[in-house]
Amino acid sequence: MPESGLLLVPVVLGLALSAASAIAAFSADVTGRTFGWRQPLGLLSIGAVAVGLAPSVFTVLDGSWFLPRVSTIELIEGELDAAAEVGDYRVLYLGDPRLIPYPTVDLGDGVAMAVVGSGRSDLLRRWPVADQATDEQLRQTIDLIATSSTQRGGRLLAAFGVRYVVVPLVDGVTSTSADPLPVPRGLLDSLGGQLDLVRSITASTFARYENTASIPTVAQLQGPLADAAATDSLRALAGVDTSGAGPVLTGAIDGRFATGELTPGVVHFGIALDPAWRLTVGDQGVSGRRSFGVATAYDVAAGGSAGLEYSNPSSRTRWLVVQAVLWALALLAASRLAVPARLRLARARDETLIDLDAEPGAPLPPPSTVHDGFDGWVDELIVEDSEQAAEAEHFGVGPPPAPLVVRTDTDAADSDGGDTGPDDGTDAAGVEPDRDHTSGPFEVPRGTGP
């Protein structure tokens, strides 16, 4: 797991967005309005935030938010053997599900289990692998150990590649040294009664048992152990010495691919028989069979350079493509994309849209005679203009304001009493004004043109 500070980065970003949203909402909903309930509520909410932050001040000063300096996973993995030295193996966690730092499988009576590989833990292990083919057989083996039906539980667990059994006791959060959670009754006694499980000296926060009869996850079997692998019963391991198993093809589980040298014999692979795993020796593929009834075995006739590889089934690729298409359709539907109006095909009509012979100021023709069949902004423009005209008629808007009167300097002088022209109804130039206008020779109605 990464440091807790890295995991808090999204939390900090969320707090920053919340603060910005609060300020923006305060500015939009409170500022500029009349005094009411919004103003005191805004101040009260800001005060509530300050009160809520007060306890965190004492936690921030510590810097680690009172989390343990070393996590349970770090303590456990720090004392395990490196896979490069002993081969690939698995660790079996048993105990209270609240203390196991991995996805668990419930065994009943407050006990759960989790199985992880020998590699260092990362976030990928936080996701459980569904429908493990060997889960049921592993549960049956644990039941035999819990009920003391066998004292060779270590040899039975060897078929699954289990090298260590760990029981978490204190994690510093859910269970502390001052207030520890109770250990499931009889769990430590049952593990301690197994002849092949030896308890190691560790910190008091967990109990660790080493399986002295363990078999690497990928191992080459020799002698009676190779003969026992041909049986279809897990109990065949109880009476066989497992020391003849040597690690090969290290890294196959975590990397899904490993290469190495093999000698003639039986290769044991501690997973259920799966055709997606392929073993090749030289240029020849080796078919697998069941080993001890729960795992996989490959009979290698001739030694040489070998490779163990996992190939994803074609059905997985097809389902990924289907999933990608569904996501694309969902994003397209959520985006509300629409074809622009200018790209749509409009039906061509031989219509007169502008009548140059119409009288000035004449109203637009009815929409049905002009834009029938058009789309986009033409529709919106004409409909909007028609709606405005109908609204003006409905509310009884009066005639336009009085016409604009433009007078000459001569008319201005006449209005002052000056005698600048003949008094016979003509102007100074002898031109009779238009009698239809109320006054002035150049009276232009407002908004109509000359």
3-class secondary structure, 108: strand
Task: DSSP for 123-171, please give it.
Answer: GGGGSPPSS-TTHHHHHHHHHHHHTT--S-HHHHHHTTTEEEEEEE---
pLDDT tens digits, one per residue of 353-395? 566 666 776 666 665 544 444 445 555 555 555 666 666 565 5
Q: What is the DSSP string of 249-293?
A: STTHHHHSEEEEEE-SEEEEESS---TTEEEEETTEEE-EEEETT
pLDDT at residue 412 tops 90:
no
Asked which of 104-108, 241-245, 430-434 is least confident by mean pLDDT, the reply is 430-434
Question: What is the model's pLDDT at position 31?
Answer: 66
Q: Where are the alpha helices (DSSP H) in 72-113?
A: 72-77, 83-86
Q: Which one is predicted more confidently, 52 or 391?
A: 52
Instruction: For residue 17, give the H/E element and its range.
Output: helix 9-29
- Are 337 and 305 within 8 A, CB to CB? no
Q: What is the pLDDT of residues 179-228, one digit of tens each?
A: 999 999 899 999 999 999 999 998 889 999 999 999 999 999 988 999 98
Between β-strands 284-286 and 90-95, what pairing exists: parallel, antiparallel or unpaired?
A: unpaired
Predicted pLDDT of residue 156: 93
Task: Using the predicted structure, report yes or no on whether residue 411 has a pLDDT greater than 60.
Answer: no
Question: What pLDDT is attached to residue 88?
Answer: 92
> What does the block give as tokens for 22?
């609060």
Question: What is the pTM (predicted TM-score) of this model?
Answer: 0.61
Averaged over 34-43, what is the pLDDT? 77
Asked which of 89-98, 124-133, 265-274 is least confident by mean pLDDT, the reply is 124-133
